[in-house]
Amino acid sequence: MADATIIDGKAFAAGLRARVADGVAALKASHGVTPGLAVVLVGEDAASQVYVRSKERALVELGMNSFDHHEPADMAESDLLALIDRLNADPAVHGILVQLPLPRHIDTQKVLARIVPEKDADGFHVVNAGLLATGQPGAIVPCTPLGSLLLIRDTLGRDLKGKRALVLGRSNIVGKPMAQLLLQADCTVTMAHSRTADLPAECRRADILVAAVGRPEMVRGDWIKPGATVIDVGINRVPAVGINRVAAAEPGKTRLVGDVAFDEAVKVAGAITPVPGGVGPMTIACLMLNTLAAACRAAGAPVPEEAAL
Ligand SMILES: Nc1nc2c(c(=O)[nH]1)N[C@@H](CN(C=O)c1ccc(C(=O)N[C@@H](CCC(=O)O)C(=O)O)cc1)CN2
């Protein structure tokens, strides 16, 4: 059997970003509005700093305003809530993003709930989760599941009716919204997690397998149905030689792996996302899309089709 098609998330994300840039220019021309995203980072988490810088750079590249708020790790929760109140009230801010994880002394749910739902560029607010779960229009969809769906559609076409989909992982920001999106697309959806009985057998039934469990290379090649579409959401940093290998790792050197054992899975799947270069780049591209969509809604302009599920 031929190896799987590699789903090039980096290339798809570049195309999506170009479409967002066109949309931004069109909104400026038609309504005189420049979309703006407030990017809030609390603390010095190294990975978060990298992601936030990428987001701020992307906003500027696409012609949008980036309102950067980099706050100290010991910022009081009440001060963060007050900042969000100010951003909620600022008409130049169409979207608000609070980079996660937040420092432990801050209640994440309380902070996310404070963002007004129409500026919730991440789609994490319970109102947006509720709109998505009840299939109502206007939901802002979380970026990673939205990006994953766009890659699935690009691979399999828009008609996913009757396909068996398995979502491995039940987080509020990936697993649950991903399952809702696939359900809305008329897939038969199973949600699985670390406690699921006979997980390999459950996975083997899936035409579409989305792995978002945060465990390096957990999904093995023989868990995959031949020809399945595999979307690997995991981004795990491991010692350079990797897990499950005998040789010692070079001290200090790391590499990224997904939740799927890629070298095994690529021999069985029909199509698969790599890590890096698969779902990851779609997360930031979809944040740009959600910001444009929020600005369009605020201006009474049509919302880009890819954001209006
Ligand atoms: N408020 C949010 N916080 C977090 C989110 C989120 O969507 N909203 N997601 C993650 C981190 N994240 C964006 O914030 C993110 C993760 C990974 C990538 C990405 O492009 N990954 C690359 C590899 C990058 C590397 O070399 O380290 C890839 O997979 O190709 C982008 C964004 C947690 N927090």
Print pLDDT tens along the chain (309 aa). 789 999 999 999 999 999 999 999 999 999 999 999 999 999 999 999 999 999 999 999 999 999 999 999 999 999 999 999 999 999 999 999 999 999 999 999 999 999 999 999 999 999 999 999 999 999 999 999 999 999 999 999 999 999 999 999 999 999 999 999 999 999 999 999 989 999 999 999 999 999 999 999 999 999 999 999 999 999 999 998 745 555 556 677 899 999 999 999 999 999 999 999 999 999 999 999 999 999 999 999 999 999 987
Give me the pLDDT at residue 251, please: 73
**Into how many domains does the chain fold?**
2
Instruction: Classify the complex by whether its ipTM is higher than 0.95, answering yes or no.
Output: yes
Cα 259 from chain centroid (whole Å): 15
Give the integer Cα–Cα distance in Å for 223 and 220. 5
Residues 56 and 128 in one domain: yes
Q: What is the CATH number of the domain that holds 154?
A: 3.40.50.720
Distance 186 CA to ligand 1 centre (A): 28
Q: Is 36 domain-assigned?
A: yes
For residue 78, what are the domain limits? 31-135
> What is the number of other CB atoms lying within 10 angstroms of the CB of residue 170?
18
Distance 287 CA to ligand 1 centre (A): 11
Residues 245 and 117 in one domain: no
Task: Note if the bond before 276 is cis, omega within 30 degrees.
Answer: yes
Indicate which residue of 120, 122, 207, 259 is catalytic. 122
Nearest to 176 by CA among 100, 137, 123, 235: 123
Q: What is the CATH number of the domain that holds 45?
A: 3.40.50.10860
Q: Is 25 domain-assigned?
A: no
Is 55 annotated as catalytic? Answer: yes
Residues 79 and 166 in one domain: no
In this structure, are residues 271 and 226 in contact, taking their beta carbons and an 8 Å threshold?
no
